[in-house]
Structure 1
Amino acid sequence: MSPTRSVSRTPRLADHSADWRLVPLAGAAVLIGAGAAGGAWLLMRLISLATNLFWFGTLSTGPREIADANVGLAVLAIPVIGSLIVGLMARFGSDKIRGHGIPEAIEAILYGESRLSLKVAILKPLSSAISIGSGGPFGAEGPIIMTGGAIGSLFAQQFKLSAAERKTLLVAGAAAGMTGIFGTPLAAILLAIEVLLFEWKPRSFVPVVIAVLVSLGLRPLLMGSGPLFPFPGASTPDFGTAALALGMGLVIGLEATALSWLLYRVEDAFHRLPVHWMWWPALGAIVVGLGGLIDAHVLGAGYANIQALLDGSLTMQVALTLLVVKATVWLVALGSGTSGGVLAPLLILGGALGVLLGQFLPGAVGFWAMIGMAGILSGAMRAPLTGALFAVELTGHFDALPATIAASAGAYGVSVLIMRRSILTEKIARRGRHVLQEYSVDPLDFLQAGELMSRDPDTLPGEMKIGAAVAFFAQGAAHRSYPVIDPAGRLLGLASRSDALRWQVEGDLNDVSLAEALSDPLQPYAFRHAPIGEVADLMVETGIGRVPIVDEATGRVVGILSRHDLLKARTATRRTELERT
């Protein structure tokens, strides 16, 4: 069969789809990792600057704790002032800065072709710094994920990369930014895989790892080295400890579910208010100020609270107060649509419940606080591996990994059974966009044409005259198109009902053979070992619903693959999920 007579869509069959475009993407990841690390440093300096300005009246970027400020009743006003500024920035700058950052990144990846604007890259860290610095009960991870992602996206847009390549660099920047803040490279990579990438490919994995490693290498120069929250007294891992951690994970999963449910009930309440959303953060900040009157430790990112929980220095009463008041101010503030992250508050809330439960369990309460932190991240974000690794990397207690994995699995199991969506994807779903967070192999990619084709299909001989072919279709042919073959069974082309109508209109072709009439050199076909996904793409591109399958060695037509055959692959896969035999 002459290659000029048809087009084959048979790809280079391999385990992965990687090509040499991976090399420039990896090179770009080096620059993006450095940029994200710088962005993490800048964000932390901005938060410190805002904290000093709002609470201490000084122009400094030195770290200060809001709980050390003595401002009296001004604690009611400062969060409101900061939130008013954030509301104005969102209203007249970009509403993309609202929220906790990760859902916005997911939405940009899935529905926005991974395009983030320069405006978002500038306003997101600035608004988050003002929000957190004025007492907003948030962390820096959501903003840095958006900021680092914007760095990667802008780089890709500057060099006119594809949407898939933009996604890779956006996620590389996000993971590098998270590493720059927390020093958790493994958790950042897993967050990229479990939450952001929506694929498992070398094209995305390798650049993400490179960007994370670059950020990790620069972190000691910018942020310091070592675990962010070291503490003594981790438990020796054994079966009993892992079993108890699994049980705690089940309880923490209920907490994660309750927090997510309450968050969106609060958000619904704000949507019912008869005022513009620009004012919602200021209204939510009133509750934040009241919470600060009760306990100033609930204000700001609260990294000192995380350390105190892990050190085991908090009494049950203080831990309970922190749990209730922090949850209240965080839920109201986040539901109001202001700017800030969810990881640090979740760590505090999971750690506080872990401390309370740890009073009745063997070992140091700080260990159980860490277990609670792993579980809450897994249950709320639906990222079990991220939760397990994040907790041990933050503390440096890698020997506790079996216990954190157990807790993460327990919380994850409870969460997915009770809650339809995670705390991240619920926000996207409320905008009318469903996100499926399960990975599986597409049957169209691993089944081959030879496995699904209809064998020994009906064909038309090349020597058949046009007149006879027109009569054949007019008399009610069973299919819309037929392969046309030569005496040796080799493909010459396709004859369809539309061809027959055209020949009938043109006239004077009755004595012309099909072999002479089919002069189009671009008739589609596929080989038997071609993935049926490639055949499906060929059908879409050509508009032809029945593709001949030919033997690669002889060129003989051995089968036909129709749209109906492709649907059978989906049905067979669904049966393996539902049928029990």
Structure 2
Amino acid sequence: MTSTPAAPTKRPRLGDHSADHRLILLAGMALGVGAAGAVGAWLLLRLISLATNLFWFGRFATAEALITDSAVGLGVIAIPVIGSVIVGLMARFGSEKIRGHGIPEAIEAILYGESRLSLKVALLKPLSSAISIGSGGPFGAEGPIIMTGGALGSLFAQCFHLSAAERKTLLVAGAASGMTAIFGTPFAAILLAIEVLLFEWKPRSFVPVVAAVMVSWTCRPLLIGAGPMFPFAASLPAGAWPVLAAAGIGCLVGLEAALLSSILYRIEDAFHRLPLHWMWWPAIGALAVGVGGLIDPRVLGAGYANIQSMLDGSMTLKMILLLLVVKAAVWLIALGSGTSGGVLAPLLILGGATGCFVGHWLPGDAGFWAMIGMAGIMSGAMRAPMTGALFAAELTGRFEALPLTVAAAAAAYGISVLIMRRSILTEKIARRGRHILQEYTVDPLDLMQAHQIMTSGPKTLPGDMSIPSALAFFRDEARHRSYPVVDEQDRLLGLVSRSDALRWQNGNVPDNATLAETLSDISQPAVHADTPSGEIADLIIATGIGRVPVIDAQTRRVIGIVSRQDLLKARSVSRSSETLRSRAIGQ
């Protein structure tokens, strides 16, 4: 029987990125997701206003209303409890996924749920959040809109034949577009997608997210309004010292972020020890919210007016301290109880209050240092330094302050990662038994090619070797489980393994049969010298073959072989570059 050399796998088309024509398809689909996210944000804001008017003023209206303008007396305690009971019922009999602040749930759906979110979540999350915030819950709208926008993107994606990675792209596109519509911060929304939600930086995901965000940003003036959300007129301090001051505030709010996260999960643990069904926990947390409202009504609701007041410098030290302490207490207790609400607005208030307080002893306007505190605490708590720096600048329209917000964000980020193992977002996921690494690195297998990790000049078996000789070889000499079989020109014919030898020993194979005749009809995967190691790993998993021959692209001669051990050594080399320390100069 004539033997033909085995055909290698398709030679890879190497490039800097893995994008293909589906990038255009996803970007086109993201345009619709972006519009849906903007409409979802508008609807969420209207629902919050409606709930606020119903709970605190007894009127059916969607005009913006401030809880501090209401006069309900001791009803300030009852109203948050009523709202929380409703949210608890919705979570128990609707969907438990509406509990919490939304971003951890979105991350978990992305990493472990194939980016599938249900219609029930898309409907109940904004409604429950509106009830929670409208009844006085000390939360913001960003967490709910990220979950709601993500659900809209996921639902749209599930209508088509897409991969889990492509669904993730549209889910995150919906989340980022919702955040853009709420806050008018397109750049920060894109960075939040990269730093917190996507767990990759690829054209396949980046371009569609940008497309969705741009659509949402275009729709925002028509639905919600134009311009920065919190404009203020404080002047930028001159000189070099503000950079050091900003970094110092960043360190302070980084410590604050770690403390808040630690207290939050201690409170959550305390609720888990209660002898009551979790449905009632939000009502218990709402009692603390009501008491806090009696002490300082400004802690109720999202509190965006507080942010504006701090930036304008219209708060006294006493007002700032009261807001800082009471807001932190009611927010931590309410969030620890498992109700529906976000973390970003409370963090901005707490970080802004810290910066504003310190700013009273620094040159310049205290409101400016409030903005620096906002940038720092978002970075430290959410582990999103670039998002925090740009978010503060976009919210206020003060882009000239970016160097200082970056200094604060970097300092807070450094402090946070050194003293806190996980962020306020990922700690919740870790408590469900899942580990997340928030560091983006290039896979060493994608950096190295076959010729860099292969064993050169491997032992081969001639195609004219008889089956009895092959059986004797595997019995007495073989050191590996498999060997390449080659013809007279060393061209690959196939791969013979110990399992083949056992099959031949127990089967009816003629004694005069050769390896070439026996393996001639078997397709043998092979790779080229420039094949990325990651593709070889995928090939080993797909075929179950532990050793893959490497052949010359022109002659198809066997020049090496890559085993599982070689792939593991590639990863070990990469890891040693981070852990092995030596001095290069003077050696």
Shorter-chain TM-score tier: over 0.9
SS of match in other structure, 1:158: coil
* Cα distance in structure 1, aligned partners of 2:26 and 2:285: 42
Q: In structure 2, what is the equivalent of residue 267 of structure 1?
A: 268
* Cα distance in structure 1, aligned partners of 2:99 and 2:224: 27
Q: Per-residue CA shift, 1:499-548, capped at 9, x if unaligned? A: 11111112342211111110234211100000011001111111111100
Q: Per-residue CA shift, 1:222-281, capped at 9, x if unaligned? A: 001000000001314642211110111001100000000000000000000000000000
Give the residue type in structure 2 aligned to 1:139. G
Distance 1:187 1:469, change over 3 A: same
Q: In structure 2, what is the equivalent of residue 179 of structure 1?
A: 180
User: What's the offset of the Cα at 1:446?
Assistant: 0.9
Q: In structure 2, what is the equivalent of residue 546 of structure 1?
A: 547
Q: In structure 2, what is the equivalent of residue 105 of structure 1?
A: 106
Conservation of the 8 A alpha-carbon contact between 1:55 and 1:66: yes
* Cα distance in structure 1, aligned partners of 2:377 and 2:367: 15
Give the residue type in structure 1 aligned to 2:447. F
* Cα distance in structure 2, aligned partners of 1:550 and 1:446: 20
Distance 1:564 1:81, change over 3 A: same
* Cα distance in structure 2, aligned partners of 1:475 and 1:211: 65
* Cα distance in structure 2, aligned partners of 1:463 and 1:521: 16
* Cα distance in structure 2, aligned partners of 1:504 and 1:45: 77
Distance 1:4 1:89, change over 3 A: farther
Distance 1:408 1:237, change over 3 A: farther
User: What's the offset of the Cα at 1:5?
Assistant: 2.7
Q: In structure 1, what is the equivalent of residue 456 of structure 2?
A: 455
SS of match in other structure, 1:135: coil
Conservation of the 8 A alpha-carbon contact between 2:4 and 2:520: no
* Cα distance in structure 2, aligned partners of 1:476 and 1:3: 27
Distance 1:238 1:386, change over 3 A: farther
* Cα distance in structure 2, aligned partners of 1:309 and 1:3: 79
Q: In structure 2, what is the equivalent of residue 66 of structure 1?
A: 67
Q: Per-residue CA shift, 1:358-381, capped at 9, x if unaligned? A: 011111001000000000000000
* Cα distance in structure 1, aligned partners of 2:126 and 2:3: 60
Conservation of the 8 A alpha-carbon contact between 1:379 and 1:411: yes
Q: Per-residue CA shift, 1:189-241, capped at 9, x if unaligned? A: 00000000000100000000000000000000000100000000131464221
Conservation of the 8 A alpha-carbon contact between 1:448 and 1:529: yes
Q: In structure 2, what is the equivalent of residue 563 of structure 1?
A: 564
What does 1:136-155 correspond to in 2, within 5 Å? 136-155=137-156
Conservation of the 8 A alpha-carbon contact between 2:80 and 2:286: yes
User: What's the offset of the Cα at 1:12?
Assistant: 1.6
Q: In structure 1, what is the equivalent of residue 359 of structure 2?
A: 358
User: What's the offset of the Cα at 1:385?
Assistant: 0.2
User: What's the offset of the Cα at 1:10?
Assistant: 3.6
SS of match in other structure, 1:492: strand
Judge which range, 516-525 or 212-221, deviates more: 516-525
Q: Per-residue CA shift, 1:42-76, capped at 9, x if unaligned? A: 00000000000000001000001101101000001
* Cα distance in structure 2, aligned partners of 1:11 and 1:357: 58
* Cα distance in structure 2, aligned partners of 1:411 and 1:54: 38
Q: In structure 1, what is the equivalent of residue 22 of structure 2?
A: 21
Q: In structure 2, what is the equivalent of residue 507 of structure 1?
A: 508
Does residue 495 in structure 1 map to residue 496 in structure 2? yes
* Cα distance in structure 1, aligned partners of 2:528 and 2:140: 54
Judge which range, 519-528 or 362-371, deviates more: 519-528
Give the residue type in structure 2 aligned to 1:499. D
TM-score (norm 2): 0.98
Q: In structure 1, what is the equivalent of residue 523 of structure 2?
A: 522
Conservation of the 8 A alpha-carbon contact between 2:3 and 2:517: no
SS of match in other structure, 2:74: helix
Distance 1:219 1:73, change over 3 A: same
Runs of at least 4 residues of structure 1 off by over 6 A?
A: 1-4
C-alpha RMSD of the superposition: 1.2
Conservation of the 8 A alpha-carbon contact between 1:469 and 1:500: yes
* Cα distance in structure 1, aligned partners of 2:172 and 2:239: 36
Distance 1:2 1:117, change over 3 A: farther
What does 1:130-529 correspond to in 2, within 5 Å? 130-236=131-237, 238-529=239-530
Distance 1:403 1:457, change over 3 A: same
* Cα distance in structure 2, aligned partners of 1:356 and 1:225: 30
Conservation of the 8 A alpha-carbon contact between 1:448 and 1:530: yes
Give the residue type in structure 2 aligned to 1:503. W
Give the residue type in structure 2 aligned to 1:218. C
* Cα distance in structure 2, aligned partners of 1:450 and 1:463: 28
Does residue 117 in structure 1 map to residue 114 in structure 2? no
* Cα distance in structure 2, aligned partners of 1:442 and 1:238: 43
Give the residue type in structure 2 aligned to 1:320. L
Distance 1:420 1:326, change over 3 A: same
User: What's the offset of the Cα at 1:6?
Assistant: 3.2
Judge which range, 501-510 or 289-298, deviates more: 501-510
Conservation of the 8 A alpha-carbon contact between 1:234 and 1:397: no
* Cα distance in structure 1, aligned partners of 2:13 and 2:197: 28
Q: In structure 1, what is the equivalent of residue 585 of structure 2?
A: none
Q: Per-residue CA shift, 1:336-368, capped at 9, x if unaligned? A: 000001110000000001111001111100100
Distance 1:282 1:552, change over 3 A: same
Give unpaired runs (5+ residues) of structure 2: 583-587
Q: Per-residue CA shift, 1:12-38, capped at 9, x if unaligned? A: 211000000111111100100000000
SS of match in other structure, 2:525: strand
Conservation of the 8 A alpha-carbon contact between 1:493 and 1:518: yes
Give the residue type in structure 2 aligned to 1:95. E
How many residue pairs align between the two structures? Answer: 581
